[in-house]
Amino acid sequence: MISPPKLTRCLSMTLLLLLCLLSGCDRDNTDSTPANDAPRLDTGDLDAIIKRGTLRILAPRFDGADALPRDDIPVEAYQRMAEAFAEELQVNVQWIFIDEFNELIPRLQRGEGDLIVTNLTNTPERRNQVAFSRPINMVDEVVITPREVSVADPPALSQLTLALAAGTAYFETLARLGEKTQLTFPVETLDSAVSDNDLLVGISEGRYQATVMDSNIANTLLLDYPQLHQAMTLRKHRAISWAVRKDNTLLLTRLNQFLVSHHLQAAGNEEQHRDWEGILKHGRLRMLTLNNAASYFMWRGELMGFDYDLLQKFAKQHKLHLTIIMKNNIGELIDALKRGEGDVIAASLTQSQQREDMGLRFSRPYLKVSEQLIARSDAGPIESLAQLGQQPIGVNPETVFYPRLQALRQEYPNLNLQLHPGTATETLIEQLAQGEFYATVADSHLFAIEQTHRSDLVALLELNGESPIAWALRDDQPQLLQQLNQFIKKEYRGLFYNVTYEKYFKNSRKIESHLAQRLVPGEPLSPYDDIVRPMAKQYGMDWRMVVAQMYQESKFNPKARSFAGARGLMQVMPRTARELGFSNLQEPQNGIAAGLAYMHWLEQRFPGDIDMQERLLFTLAAYNAGAGHVQDARRLAAQQGLDPNRWYDNVERAMLLLSRAEHYKKARFGYVRGREPVNYVKNIHDRYLNYLQLQ
C-alpha cells in the first residue's frame, strides 16, 4: 500500500509528465544550441589577425568536462593560456566551438578559425594537414580490455578486434606498429561521435573486445569500470599540441615564443625533487591536494577550492601552470611529497610539531582556525566536555584531532571516542547529521563551509585556541618556501585573499524553500513571464517549471551573481554561456535563453529510455551540480541496488552518499556536496506544483 506522502508524490509526478507532454509538441524541431553566425573565411597569417583585431580559436564544445582533472593540465588552463596569447598579441578572442572533433582541422584549413586549442595529438598524418606548436603535454596510448584478458605484446593484440572512433590518431599508431611487426590488427571503425565512455560500456557489455585510449583519460574513466584494465601500452610519450595552418609561419613562431616564455610545455610526471629553479625550468607547479570542499573540487564544470584559487594566483604571478595531483588522505600526500611526486601540499593542512618531526617544512600560515566540537542543532548547549557523559564522538585517528582528544581524556576520562579511520571531516559531518554519533570535531573553516548551505548542525565548544593552516614542503625546498612565504605575506588579508575567503567560508549558499514569495491566482508569476513562455515552448518545457527554477536560482534578480561566478536570472556560468553562444547574461533575454539552452543540452546527456519526468529531474540536478556528478550518482545507485533511472528515493540517495569519502574517491567527478542538488530538485518541484494551482 502506498503511503500518503508517496501517493502525493506519484500524483504530482504524473501531473508533471502530462504537462510536459502537452507543452512539448514541437520539441524535435529544436536545435540543441543557438546557431552560430555564418563564419567569415580568412586564411591570413599573423598580420591579418592583428589587422582584424581578433584571434579566432577553434575548440570542441564543452571540452574538458569529462572528469575532475587529477594529474594533468585541465583544458580550462589551455583556454586561459590561449586568451593570454591573444592579450599578448593585443587582439580580442573569438571562441568558435565545434560539436564534431573531426571538423576542427577541416574548419581551420577553410579559414573559419586561426588556432586549434585542445588535446590534439601530434601525428605524422596530421602534420601533413596542419602545423603543430611545441608539445604542451605528453600522454601514453593504452589498450583497454576486460581484466581477464591478458595482452602482453603485439602478437597477442593482433588476436583482438579493437573498437575505435573514426578519425582518432590510434589508426595511425596501429598502422605504424603493423609495418614494424608485419602483423595485422583488426579494427571495428565506429562513428566519430562515439565517446570514450561509450567504448568502455561496450567492452563491459561484451559488444567490443578492446579499445585504445589516452592514458590520462583512461586513468580517470576506469574508476567506474573495475572489471576493465589497461592491458598494455601501445605507444609511450605521445605529444599533445595546438595547431595552425601550415602556411601561417609567423603565427606559429609567435605562438611557440609565447609557449616557451609561459612555460606551457610537456613535462613528464616522473618523481623529481625540485626546488624553485627546477619548477621555473619546467614551467609547472605540482600541487598535492585532497578532493574536498575546502581545497579542490568541481562545481558546474568549474574547478574550485580555497587552496586551488590561492595557488592558482601564485602560479599565475610567476607564469607557471598549476598541475593537480590528488591523493586520498593526508598520509598519501606526505608520502607523495617525500617521493618528489609533487612540489607542495596544499590541502588545508594543520601545522603541527608531529608533522614537522616527519620531515615537513611549513609555509607561513595562510589561515588560522580553531577546532570545534560539532553536534546536531537539537543538542542542548554545554559549557564543558564533562556534560557529554558517554555520548560518542566520531573521530578519524589519523587527524590532529585524535591526539588532542586523547590528551583531554586525562581531564575528562568519560570521553567516548568512536574511531573512523581514513574518514574525511566532511564525511564525519554528514554521518553526524544522519545520527551515527552524537558529536564530531572539525576545523572552524571547514564547518563554516558546511554552514553556508545547512542549518541542522551547531558548534558546541572550541577545543583549543587558533591553529595555523599552512602549505607543506620538503626540507630541500628553501627557495620555494621563500617564494610562497613572500606571496602569503603580500596577499594575506588583502583584497584578493578577502574576496576568496568570503567566497568559500562566508557567502551563504543555503538552499531555502522560498515559499514566502506572495503568489496570487491570475497574477504574473514573475516579471519575465512574457519572455519565458515562447522560449520554453521552443525547448518543449513547461514555462512554469522554468519560472520556478529561475526563482530558485536568482529570485528574479537579473544582476544576481553566485559565489562560483554564475550570472543572470538562470545563474549560468560565463564559460558555459560562451560555449553555447551567449554573452551579457545580466540582460534578461540572454540570461533566460542561455539557461534554457543549457537545460536542453543537459537533458541530452541522459539516455532516451529514461521516463520523461525522471529525465527532467536528472536535468535539474545536473543544472545545479553538473551532469558528471549526476552520472556518478546514477552509477553509484546501481551499485547500491537502487534504480539508476529514478530520482526520488533512488539516485537522490546515492547523490547524498557522494559526500562520503568511501564513495567520492571512486567517482569520476569526485566530491560533491550532494545535499545541495537534492534540495534544489525538491524546492523547484514544490514551487512548480504551487504554480500549477495559480496558472
Cα separation, 130 vs 491, whole angstroms: 44
- The CA angle 510-527-572, to the nearest 5 degrees, is 50
In Å, what is the CA distance from 667 to each residue of 89, 468, 561, 615?
41, 31, 29, 21
In whole angstroms, give the CA distance from residue 322 to residue 315.
6
Rounded Cα–Cα distance for residues 411 and 413 (Å) = 6
306-317 and 478-491 helices, crossing angle to 10°:
110
For residues 388 and 440, the answer to whether their CB atoms sit within 8 Å is: no
The number of beta carbons lying within 10 Å of the beta carbon of residue 151 is: 20
Run of H or E including 119: strand 115-121
Q: In this structure, are strands 302-304 and 297-299 parallel, antiparallel, or unpaired?
A: antiparallel
Can you tell me which residue has the cell 586564411? 43
Alpha helices in 539-581 (DSSP H): 543-554, 574-580
Q: Which residues of 405-425 are buried (b: 16+ CB within 10 A; e: fewer)?
A: beeeeeeeeebebbebeebbb
β-strand partners of 369:
467
Q: Nearest CA to 479 among 275, 660, 627, 655?
A: 275
> 10 Å Cβ neighbour count for 276?
18
- Active-site residues, by number, are 553
Q: Grid coordinates representing 338?
A: 617525500
Neighbouring-strand partners of residue 141: 214, 235
CA 442 to chain CA centroid, Å, is: 25
Please give the helix or strand (H or E) that residue 96 lies within, else none. strand 92-98
Alpha-carbon distance values, 598 to 559, 563, 627 (Å): 19, 19, 11
- C-alpha–C-alpha distance, residues 108 and 41, integer Å: 9
